[in-house]
Amino acid sequence: MTQDTLQFIPLHKTFGAQCVGVDFSKELPPEVVQQVKDGLHKYGLLTFRKTGLTDENFVKFGQHFGELCPNASADNRVKSKYIGDPSNIHRDGTVVQKGELQYFIGKATGIFHVDKSYDPRRVRYTTLKCTVPVPAGTGGATEFADSRTAYDDLDEETKQYIQDKVGAHSIFESRRKAAPWLKTFQMLDPNDFPFGKFPVVETQPQTGRKDLYLAGHLHHIEGMDQEESTKLIEKLFNHATQPKYVHKVNYEEPGDFVIWDNLAVLHRAGGGSYVGIHPRDVRNLTIYDNSDGEWGFNDRNQERIDPMKYIRAAHEKAFAGDSTANDFNNEILDYD
């Protein structure tokens, strides 16, 4: 199969496809890159199998889609300016255990979200590469929800009501939702930090399709009292994450990877029996929106914060050096 005959094999009846025919051992020709982009905008989510991508080539692939977003934190196991490390692995190579701070931080990824909506400048695309998969049958998948079809299926009254609503997002909100009992997150009030403010209803520029721009990071909707805001967020979130809108992607081999459009899908990390036992080594890139809407309703001079700096400081204060927080419920958000 030559690179001018890419195939897109649908994964779900309304979104997602596996892209077949890309030769990642060579520099990608412009026409192939354009076919991949067109497929991504059509399907919202693309998977690639047995790519053999190195971290270096992974970065090169991401650069085809726009300006890469650098990591906010320098304290990263993977030494790259751009590659993020949402793995369950410590810097010394050991697996994160239940009850450790990194475990509690990672629990928030188990809530459906769009990436970095809490930052002032929005990212548009995310790509996630598997380096070491977990054993088959132990979980570790990523689940995706079709936020475009979810919007299409709303009744007209709700569409009109939410059309001009603005959501305020905070990374500390999603951490508090995932582990509300943890004193560390209780000490970090989202109102003490800048919010990322974006429309609840966004439009994908390439297709003109609207989607629900929702996330576990969503703290409130501007101009509404908290109770009313919470009810609306829950209503939209429950609607958009119904099983009929969801597709699960498992990583089978090193080099399997996915890329998705945050203006087309929500996503979450699935749990499983691998937690605390097997390494799940995955690496990601996020790519800025580079559109008129990428700054939302935010100040362009506002700087991104390093949330880990505040989380570690709060944890140290809360537990006086006890990094395990074993006094708290260690039940994992297990979606398998």
Q: What percent of the chain has pLDDT over 70?
A: 93
C-alpha span between 23 and 215 (Å, rounded) = 34
Average pLDDT of the segment spanning 199-207? 97
Per-residue pLDDT reduced to its tens digit, 101-112: 999 999 999 999
For 144-154, b where at least 16 C-beta lie within 10 A, e where not — what string? bbbbbbbbeeb
Q: What is the pLDDT of residue 328?
A: 37
Token digits of residue 33? 């890159």
pLDDT of 250 reads: 96
The DSSP letter of residue 70 is P
Of 94, 181, 87, 159, nearest to 129 by C-alpha is 87
Give the count of beta carbons closer than 10 Å to the beta carbon of residue 212. Answer: 25
- The CATH topology of domain 7-319 is Double-stranded beta-helix (3.60.130)
Mean pLDDT (the chain) is 92
Q: How confident is the model at residue 72 (pLDDT cuts 50, 70, 90)?
A: low
Mean per-residue pLDDT, 137-152: 97
Collapsed DSSP state (helix, strand, coil) of residue 58:
helix
What are the pLDDT digits (tens) for 309-326?
999 999 999 987 555 544
**Is residue 2 predicted with pLDDT exceeding 50?**
no
- Higher-confidence position of 228 and 80: 228
CA dihedral 310, 311, 315, 316 (to 10 degrees): -40
Start-end of H helices in 6-115: 30-43, 55-63, 101-106
The string over 259-275, giving b where at least 16 C-beta atoms fall within 10 Å of a residue's C-beta and e elsewhere, is bbbbbbbbbbbbbbbbb
Mean pLDDT in residue range 276-296: 95
Question: Residue 214 pLDDT > 50, yes or no?
Answer: yes
pLDDT band at 71 (very low <50, low <70, confident <90, very high): confident
CA gap 290, 332 in Å, rounded: 36
Nearest to 139 by CA among 49, 50, 245, 251: 251
| Average confidence (pLDDT) over 192-214 | 97
The predicted pLDDT at position 77 comes to: 83
Predicted pLDDT of residue 74: 58
At how many degrees (to 10) do helices 171-178 and 307-319 cross?
40
pLDDT for position 227 = 96
> Rounded to whole angstroms, how far apart are CA atoms 233 and 92?
40
Supply the pLDDT for residue 327: 45
* Per-residue model confidence (pLDDT) at position 320: 76
